[in-house]
Amino acid sequence: MVFMLGYIMCNHQDIPELSPDAIKVSDDLSHQISNEMHRYYTYEMKQPIYSNRLVQIIKIIDAAKISTRSAFVRNLEAPSRRKEIRQQERAIPSVARRMESHSSGHSQRPCGVNATKNEGCYQGQRIPD
């Protein structure tokens, strides 16, 4: 786990504006982490050939990079999506703006109810009793 985090942090190829000093520190830290991982697998785990494990670790790192990049891109696109939603909300009139003025001076709701008299108009077929 430490190797994966260190590898991700020390990967400076994605950051072109780093200073030469920062690149040197990153490379030194990367070498130190790699040497520690080699010592761990060779002497503690007694596995001098650990290339399969290294391939698995690199696959996990690549998957994490893809996931974080796609999340980063979604966050970059999010403000424009929010703007689009706000524009759609403005296009839909609110209830107050949909109310039409009635000839008697009362506002009539879209359902056909006179607001002050609370009288509804029936617009369907009458159901026999």
Decide if 10 contacts 30 (C-beta within 8 A). yes
Rg (CA), the chain: 33
Decide if 114 contacts 102 (C-beta within 8 A). yes
pTM: 0.45
Specify the DSSP element, H or E, that contains 101.
strand 100-101
Spatial separation of the C-alpha atoms in residues 110 and 100, rounded to whole Å: 8
Residue pLDDT, tens place only, 72-122: 556 666 666 666 666 666 666 555 544 555 455 555 555 555 555 555 555
Residue pLDDT, tens place only, 24-61: 888 898 899 889 989 998 999 898 888 888 888 888 88
Q: In terms of DSSP H, where are the helices of the chain?
A: 2-10, 20-39, 51-91, 95-98
